[in-house]
Amino acid sequence: MKFPSPVSLQWIATLINAELLGNSNAEATGINEIHKVQKGDLVFVDHPKYYTTCLNSAASFIIINNKDVVVPDGKTLLYTTEPFEAYLKIVNHFRPFNPSKQMISDSAVIGESTVIMPNTFIGNHVSIGNNCVIHPNVVIHDHSVIGNNVIIQSGTIIGSDAFYYNGKKDRDVMYKRMQSCGNVVIEDNVEIGANCTIDRGVTSETRIGKGTIIDNLVQLGHEVVIGKNCLLASQVGIAGATTLEDGVIIWGQVGITKTITLGAGAVVMAQSGVTNTIKGNKVYMGTPAIEAGDKRREYVWVKRIPELWKKVMES
């Protein structure tokens, strides 16, 4: 999430009751989680396992619960005993929960010749382009951006909160939701089927590229990026921060894990499980998904096991 304008670190330190270590005169331009940080961003870390990753990331400013670490050149640390609570305080200040009181918010911008059918909810600061068709019972949450010529079928939810939690075993509530302050961006000429759920980014955006077609009952996690002209069949589930490059085809009931990349033109056959980054312009199948030719040969050998075992026992 970008701040409306650069914010003094001294002001932020006062807001979250933190001690500044390093350049105290700098200004932050936004707050992001580790997968999406950019120069000028704040990020938080509260577990030693991730200290090195955060300290070496692109983030300029790090909220941390250890002031004995070495401050990297060009960075500033904000020391506090509860970095996660500090994150929540910053997000709640800059993007507080603002309940809607009507089906279509007065702050929503809807383009020319766009059709909004009955029982559709459109939240605060939503932007919808021209010549779109939004079918009944669609929910479009705050700050979502939808391009031109987009079709969204009934029952789909755009911009629901990310499935992203901060877990601590030493507190009464083990899992606390990491409040989402990102959004969803849907580019031109996208079609989305019925009863899909597309989560907004935790701090950045979930994006669906131009010309992509999505079938019914598809789940996209936070900060998933779908390239141009992709095709996703029914019951596909994609976990957070995964990227599908242009022209990827995913057939029905495929599960895809988090923070990986599917190369341009890759095809994944039905009921496969993609657990690692895969190269483009190849066909994959199975769990874990491997190249389809290799998987078919594997199936042939598996079928021969009884025959081979019999020969072994008879020898």
Report DSSP letters for 208-253, one per residue: E-TT-EE-SS-EE-TT-EE-TT-EE-TT-EE-TT-EE-TT-EE-TT
In this structure, the chain runs to a length of: 315
Beta bridge partners of 42: 31, 61
Helix (H, G, I), strand (E, B) or coil at 140: strand
Alpha-carbon gap, residue 124 to 143, rounded angstroms: 6
93 given a catalytic annotation: no
Please enumerate in sequence order all residues whose Cβ is within 8 A of that of 253, keeping only pairs 6 or more positions apart, or say none. Answer: 234, 235, 236, 270, 271
What's the distance, CA 291 to chain centroid? 26
Report DSSP letters for 81-110, one per residue: S-HHHHHHHHHHHHS------SSB-TT-EE
Helix (H, G, I), strand (E, B) or coil at 43: strand
Lookup: tokens for 241: 């921060």
∠175-99-101 over CA atoms, to 5°?
Answer: 150
Alpha-carbon gap, residue 33 to 26, rounded angstroms: 20
Alpha-carbon gap, residue 302 to 231, rounded angstroms: 31
Query: Residues with catalytic annotation?
Result: 222
